[in-house]
């Protein structure tokens, strides 16, 4: 701030209030009156602006609160219950679950036996249960084959999560590679067991009937 | 097309045009392809892109390519393809239409080129307008503080589309594709070969085919054989470089032989 | 919230407004009306509460803005100069990336081939990758043309970043449409410039086997 600034009148109080509001909202931590004095144009009265702002937020869903010698915006304490859902911990799905999900998405409707043939390992009950519980997959109609096995298909919840209109919109391998999304490092031949880093590999050596 | 376009003395470029073309030539790397260059050339006409003279533009472009050739500037293939096409377009525009010929007329082709230029320019203009907008994190801001509230631990599993697609790709291309994991059990490294050969070199007084130096069990599988051969060869060269061994090959594709160098010379 | 809630009347609108205010304030990203419906007690009308709240914040230092089908609180853009401390250095985008982004935004859903037709040069993988990684673009539905190519569309993150309510608010969109510059006119096939970058067809060659 140079001394010249004092030649100009300070902005009107309503404008100062707006400024304080914006600064409090965007700051990562509480802001002191001194901070505000330095950031607002010369001649402003942040203390008064703060009091006006505080009165304006009285009874709203958000309040202006004092934290030590600084000020911050906080949600009203009586609405804390609304925030509980905010604190979900997100974890990445396991590789087994992702692969199972991918097979269902690309091959639906697909039976458990078919999933196992493609993955080359048996599919644990927990994996399928987890996907069912997340509502990313559901039971489809039964296959017209001996035993009439149930099939799995993906759900609308799945499509919403991945931003897809339709499971057919999933890009193919060629397109993935073209977009540079696959690290297509050629491996040195395929040795059986080389992929055995799997968490549920009870039955390796199942021949990969679905490889094409 | 107006009458000017049929000017017979087409190759007489004005001094100003010539200078402009030379200025452009210096800059040839700065263009993102022929269309970008054509757009730059069209600006010298200083008219609405819809009223542009495609014939003049074709002349300027061909002049540019001529000069680039004269100055021995390497032009990428697509610049030359565009030049050939513009030369064809120019002839179509200059000659009376052949009623026997099918396909779009010269005027239609010219109109489409003008459309392409106008569209590219329009995209550049709106891109600039877009980038000049008020932007999050620069002009307006989200809440600065992440709210700390009581933690009700609820695990939500998630995955991205990329995870899903890569998972699928991993399964379906298992033979040729495995992300992140270097397949070590069929790779014989040069360090391993070197370690093994250092130990054995003392016994190699005679010329021995390096194929004999492969570790046991690495010659059956072609994949492993290839890796072991490469590593053994590289290690042999290293030993020769260090002065511990000599290497020879009598002719192309003959066996490569190695023996210990014991300071006889 | 349990099912019992439906036995009680929805809270008064002023209270719903407070709740919406608290939720928007607490969330860093935009919140959809659907999210709000799920978080507010049964019988609430978050859409109406949002309209009231938006009007209440009119002209303040913080605004309620629409981002696609979601809503967020953001500081007023005219106060950006106060926030130098909070400014995040955005990665500088290349000219190719900016043009590609603009083409996707104005022509969406658009295929890679169409982007290349418009720019007259092939689109590098890095460019698309970078935009995907910034979450400014995503895959859209496939085109109903031969080969069913994947398309790209812009995301909510893009709209949020550029302060757009939806993609229809893009600057100059109407003028471009009126001028016919957003129609995909069939090229006569003879015109060079639309270099068909068929890089997806290259098989990993033998020569790559020893590359690390």
Provide the CATH number for the domain around residue C30. Answer: 1.10.10.10
Pairwise CA distance, residues A89 & A66, whole Å = 30
- pLDDT score for C201: 35
Helix (H) or strand (E) holding A92: strand A88-92
- The predicted pLDDT at position B239 comes to 86
pLDDT reported for residue A25: 92
| Segment B142-161 mean pLDDT | 63
Task: Compute the average pLDDT of residues C162-167.
Answer: 90
Confidence grade of residue C183 (pLDDT, cut at 50, 70, 90): confident
Q: Is the pLDDT of residue A210 over 50?
A: no
Please check whether residues C180 and C77 belong to one and the same domain: no
Residue B177 has pLDDT above 70, yes or no: no
> Based on the domain organization, do A29 and A63 belong to the same domain?
yes
Residue bearing the bigger pLDDT, C38 or B19: C38
Query: Which chains have at least 3 CB atom pairs separated by less than 8 Å from chain A?
Result: B, C
Residues A194, A116 share a domain: yes
* Cα–Cα distance for residue pair B34/B42, rounded to 1 Å: 12
Q: From the CA of A199, how many Å to the nearest CA of chain B?
A: 14
Q: What are the tens digits of pLDDT across the range B33-42?
A: 888 888 888 8
Asked if residue C3 has pLDDT above 50, the reply is no
- Answer with the residue of higher pLDDT: B187 or B21: B187
B155 touching chain A per CB within 8 A: yes
Chain A, residues 139-178, CB within 8 A of chain B, namely 161-164, 170-171, 173, 176
Whole-number pLDDT of residue C171: 92
What is the pLDDT of chain C when averaged over all its residues? 82
Q: Which residue of A has its CA nearest to B227?
A: A188
Please name the helix (run of DSSP H) or strand (run of DSSP E) that holds residue B209, with its range, or none: strand B208-209
What residue in B sits closest to A162 (Cα-Cα)?
B161
Asked if residue C86 has a cis previous peptide bond (ω within 30° of 0), the answer is no
> A79: closest CA among B90, C20, B148?
C20
Q: Is the dihedral of CA A23, A28, A30, A35 positive or negative?
A: negative
The domain in which residue A141 lies consists of 91-211
**What pLDDT is recorded for position C192?**
56
Are C7 and C77 in the same domain?
yes
Mark yes or no for CB contact C181/B118 under 8 Å: yes
End of a domain among A83, A102, A120? A83
Q: Give the DSSP per-residue string, A96-127.
A: HHHHHHHHHHHH-SEEHHHHHHHHSSPPPHHH
C-alpha A27/C-alpha A15 separation (Å) is 18
Chain B residues closer than 8 Å to A163 by CB: 161
User: How many structural domains comprise chain B?
Assistant: 2
Q: What is the mean pLDDT of residues B52-79?
A: 84
Q: Mark whether A30 and A131 lie in a shared domain.
A: no
B141/C83 touch (CB, cutoff 8 Å), yes or no:
yes
Measured between CA atoms, how close is B249 to chain C, in angstroms? 23
Summarize the confidence of residues C144-166 as an average pLDDT: 90
Do A50 and A151 fall within a single domain?
no
How far is CA A175 from its chain centroid?
25
pLDDT of amino acid A189: 39
Residues 181-210 of B with CB under 8 A from C: none
Chain A residues in contact with B161 (beta carbon < 8 A): 162-164
Same domain for A130 and A196? Answer: yes
Answer with the residue of higher pLDDT: C151 or B198. Answer: C151
Q: What is the mean pLDDT of residues C156-181?
A: 90
The answer to the question of residue B216 being in a domain is yes
| Rounded distance between C-alpha atoms, residue C63 and residue C77, angstroms | 9
Which of C19, C85, C201 has the CB atom closest to A79's CB atom?
C19
Q: Best of B183, B217, B229 to disrupt the A interface by mutation (most A CBs within 10 Å)? A: B183
CA distance B93 to chain A (A): 39
CA C162 to chain centre: 9
What's the pLDDT score for residue B184? 63
pLDDT attached to residue C186: 58
Instruction: Provide CB contacts within 8 A for B167, sequence distance 6+.
Output: A95, A98, A99, A101, A102
Region B71-90: mean pLDDT is: 85
Q: Specify whether A204 is located in the same domain as A160.
A: yes
B71 falls within a domain: yes
Q: How confident is the model at residue C5 (pLDDT cuts 50, 70, 90)?
A: very low
- Measure CB to CB from residue C128 to each of A18, A22, A179 and give the nearest one: A179
* Of B184, B30, B114, A119, the residue nearest C181 (C-alpha): B114
CB C122 within 8 A of CB B151: no
What are chain B's partners, defined as 3 or more CB pairs within 8 angstroms? A, C
Residues A101 and A24 in one domain: no
Distance CA C154, CA B30 (A): 28
Interface-testing mutation among A108, A182, A208, with chain B (most B C-beta atoms within 10 A): A182
Bond prior to A109 in cis (omega within 30° of 0): yes
> Using the 8-state DSSP alphabet, how is residue B140 labeled?
B
**Number of B:C CB contacts under 8 A?**
148
- Who among B157, B161, B172 is closest to A130 (CB)? B157
More confident residue, B76 or C201: B76
Contacts with A210 from chain B: Cβ below 8 Å: 172
pLDDT at B74 over 90: no
Task: Decide if B13 is inside a domain.
Answer: no
Question: Which chain A residue shows the shortest CA-CA distance from B163?
Answer: A98
Least confident segment among A109-113, A136-140, B207-211, C202-206:
C202-206
* Mean pLDDT in residue range C67-91: 83
Residues B115 and B194 in one domain: no
| Domain span including residue B225 | 190-260
CA distance A108 to A168: 10
Boundary residue ending a domain (B82, B113, B128): B128
Give residues 108 to 137 of B whose Cβ lies within 8 Å of C: 108-109, 112-113, 115-116, 118-120, 122-127, 129-131, 133-137
A86: pLDDT strictly greater than 80? no
For residue C172, what pLDDT band results from cuts at 50, 70 and 90?
very high
Residues in A closer than 8 angstroms to B152, CB to CB, are 84-85, 87
pLDDT digits (tens, 9 = 90+) for A13-42: 999 999 999 999 998 888 999 999 999 998
- Shared-domain flag, residues B123 and B194: no
Q: Is the pLDDT of residue B26 over 70?
A: no
Chain B, 53-72: which have a CB under 8 Å from a chain C CB? none
pLDDT value of position C212: 36
- Alpha helix (H) ranges present in chain B? 15-26, 34-43, 54-70, 77-94, 106-131, 161-172, 190-200, 222-242
Highest mean pLDDT: which of A57-71, B197-211, C46-60, C141-155? C46-60
Q: What percent of chain B has pLDDT over 90?
A: 5
Q: Which of C19, C27, C125 sits opposite A179 (nearest CB)?
A: C125
Distance CA A40, CA B36 (A): 46
Q: Tell me which of C80 and C1 has the higher pLDDT.
A: C80
Q: What pLDDT, in 10s, does the model give residues A114-163? A: 888 888 888 888 888 889 988 889 998 888 888 888 899 988 888 877 77
Last-in-domain residue among A83, A118, A134: A83
Total number of domains in chain C: 2
What confidence category does residue B78 fall into, taking pLDDT thresholds of 50, 70 and 90?
confident
Q: Which residues contact A71 (CB under 8 A, 6 or more apart)?
A: A24, A30, A31, A32, A33, A50, A64, A65
């Amino acid at each position: 701030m140079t001394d010249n600034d004092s030649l100009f009148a300070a902005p009107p109080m309503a404008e100062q209030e707006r400024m304080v509001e914006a600064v409090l909202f965007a700051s990562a931590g509480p802001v002191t009156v001194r901070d505000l004095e330095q950031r607002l144009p010369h001649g402003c009265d942040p203390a008064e602006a703060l009091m006006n702002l505080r009165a304006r937020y009285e009874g709203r869903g958000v309040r202006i609160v004092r934290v030590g010698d600084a000020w911050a915006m906080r949600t009203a304490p009586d609405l804390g219950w609304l925030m509980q859902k905010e604190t979900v911990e997100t974890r990445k799905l396991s590789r087994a679950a992702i692969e199972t999900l991918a097979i269902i998405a690309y091959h639906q409707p697909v039976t458990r036996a078919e999933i196992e043939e493609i993955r080359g390992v048996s599919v644990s009950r927990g994996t399928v249960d987890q996907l069912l519980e997340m509502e990313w997959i559901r039971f489809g109609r039964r296959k017209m084959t001996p035993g009439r096995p149930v099939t799995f298909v993906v759900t609308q919840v799945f499509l919403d999560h991945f931003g897809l209109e339709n499971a057919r919109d999933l890009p193919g391998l060629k397109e993935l590679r073209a977009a540079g999304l696959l690290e297509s490092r050629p491996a040195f031949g395929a040795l059986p067991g080389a992929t055995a880093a799997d968490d549920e590999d009870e039955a390796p050596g199942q021949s990969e009937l679905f490889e094409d | 097309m107006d009458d000017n376009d049929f000017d017979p003395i087409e190759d007489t470029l004005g001094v100003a045009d010539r200078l402009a073309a030379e200025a452009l030539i210096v800059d040839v790397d700065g263009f993102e392809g022929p269309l970008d260059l054509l757009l730059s050339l069209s600006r010298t006409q200083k008219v609405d892109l819809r009223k542009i003279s495609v014939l003049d533009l074709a002349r300027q472009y061909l002049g540019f390519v001529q000069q680039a050739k004269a100055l021995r500037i390497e032009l990428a293939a697509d610049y030359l393809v565009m030049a050939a096409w513009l030369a064809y377009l120019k002839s179509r525009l200059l000659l009376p239409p052949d009623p026997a010929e099918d396909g779009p007329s010269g005027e239609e082709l010219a109109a489409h080129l003008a459309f392409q230029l106008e569209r590219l320019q329009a995209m550049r203009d709106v891109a600039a307008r877009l980038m000049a907008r008020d932007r999050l994190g620069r002009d307006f801001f989200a809440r600065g503080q992440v709210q700390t509230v009581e933690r009700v631990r609820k695990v939500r599993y998630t995955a991205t589309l990329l995870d899903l697609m890569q998972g699928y790709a991993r399964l379906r291309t298992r033979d040729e594709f495995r992300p992140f994991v270097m397949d070590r059990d069929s790779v014989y490294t040069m360090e391993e070969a070197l370690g093994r050969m250092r130990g054995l070199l003392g016994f190699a007084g005679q010329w021995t085919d390096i194929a004999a130096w492969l570790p046991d069990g690495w010659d059956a599988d072609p994949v492993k054989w290839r890796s072991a051969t490469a590593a053994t060869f590289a290690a042999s060269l290293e030993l020769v470089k260090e002065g511990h061994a000599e290497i020879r090959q009598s002719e192309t594709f003959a066996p490569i032989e190695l023996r210990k160098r014991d300071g006889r010379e």
